[in-house]
Amino acid sequence: MLNHHLLEDTFNCLIDSYINNKVGIADHFLSDTLAADLKQNLISLFQQNQLLSAGIGNDRIVVNNQLVRGDSIYWLDRKHDTPCENVFFDLMDNFVGYLNQTCYTGITGYEFHYTLYQKGAFYKKHLDQFQNNDSRKYSMIMYLNTDWQAADGGELCIHQNNTYQNISPENGRTVFFKSNELLHEVLCTQKSRMSITGWLKVDH
């Protein structure tokens, strides 16, 4: 069962920091249990060769370019009926409902995938919104990395107002920002870096 009072505190932390800085950060958006279960599922999928090299662009324009990004992904889907993914989707349904209720964002859907950067991988500076499709409104990244150290690298670097903000991909931490506004990149990681990455969408 999800504790709605605790959830609202976490949701407010993410939303308030977003309002203040255009970059929302909440350190315990994913519970330790949920993060551990999702991480184990990601590792299992990787061991089964289920992760695919991520492309640049969308369905109409997809380019695989290891000089730009080096991550592998696997899309989450309720049809998988994986228990930890179902809990994750319940959490996201609660968050989207709260966001729409409190901020009138009009979000109608979302999409999320597991993301794995192996040692030496990175993703150069980019925006998350496609040039030919503006349905992605907000980007969310939820990290699944326990005992992450500064020397491990792999920070999310967000560029804003001629400055940058480096965010360490620590376990349970969630980052939230508008998909069409902030250029960002993933700095080279020195060990396997795992997350769930996705977008809150307004379907036209």
Q: What is the CATH number of the domain that holds 134?
A: 2.60.120.620
* 159 within some domain: yes
- Condensed to tens digits (0 to 9), the pLDDT of residues 83-127 reads 999 999 999 999 999 999 999 999 999 999 999 999 999 988 888
* 79 within some domain: yes
* 17 within some domain: yes
Which pLDDT score, from 0 to 100, does residue 60 have?
A: 44
Question: Tokens representing 27?
Answer: 């350190």
Show the domain range for 110.
4-57+68-201
* 108 within some domain: yes
- Condensed to tens digits (0 to 9), the pLDDT of residues 88-99 reads 999 999 999 999
185 touches 124 (CB < 8 A): yes
Which pLDDT score, from 0 to 100, does residue 6 have?
A: 79
* 63 within some domain: no
* 191 within some domain: yes
Domain count, the chain: 1
37 touches 45 (CB < 8 A): no
pTM, entire model:
0.89
- State the first-to-last Cα distance of the chain, in angstroms, to the nearest integer: 33
